[in-house]
């Protein structure tokens, strides 16, 4: 995955991998992943900032529900990405 690991992947989450890369169940999941990679590469945030934000969000979500499926994980991924981008743009 070109130095990009899936951050905060819960151990009981069923994200599928092929040749070490995630297999997306839906096109929106791949687009969300690509947006995170592109925004990181453009310098908006570091991959560590992104991983930390996602880990925080997943911890919040798992207080009320479990993240087990790829869909659950990428919904958390997208919500975290939106929050981080909004925070970064507010500071520019």
pTM, two decimals, is 0.79
Tens digits of per-residue pLDDT, 52-87? 999 898 888 888 888 888 888 889 889 999 999 999
Q: Are 38 and 60 in contact (CB under 8 A)?
A: no
The token pair at 39 is 């925004």
Is residue 20, in this structure, part of any structural domain at all? no
Where does the pLDDT of residue 20 fall: very low under 50, low under 70, confident under 90, or very high at 90 and above? confident
Kindly state whether residue 85 falls inside one of the protein's structural domains. Answer: yes
Tell me the pLDDT tens digit for each residue of 21-59.
788 899 999 999 899 999 999 999 998 998 899 989 888
State residue 21 phi and psi, 5-degree precision.
-120, 150
Domain containing residue 90: 44-92
Kindly tell me if the per-residue pLDDT of 7 is higher than 70: no
The answer to whether position 88 is within a domain reads yes
Is position 69 within any domain? yes
Looking at the chain, the number of H-run helices and the number of E-run strands are: 3, 2
Q: How far apart are CA 16 and CA 69, in angstroms?
A: 10
**Which two tokens mark 88?**
């970064």
Q: How many CB atoms lie within 10 A of CB 5?
A: 10
**Into how many domains does the chain fold?**
1
């Amino acid at each position: 995955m070109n130095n990009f690991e899936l951050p905060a992947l819960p151990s009981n989450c069923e994200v599928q991998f092929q040749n070490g890369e995630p297999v997306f169940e839906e096109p929106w999941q791949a687009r969300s992943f690509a947006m995170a990679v592109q925004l990181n590469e453009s310098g908006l945030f570091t991959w560590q900032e992104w991983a930390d934000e996602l880990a925080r969000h997943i911890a919040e979500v798992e207080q009320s529900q479990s993240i087990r499926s790829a869909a659950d994980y990428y919904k958390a991924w997208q919500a975290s990405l939106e929050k981080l981008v909004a925070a970064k743009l507010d500071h520019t």
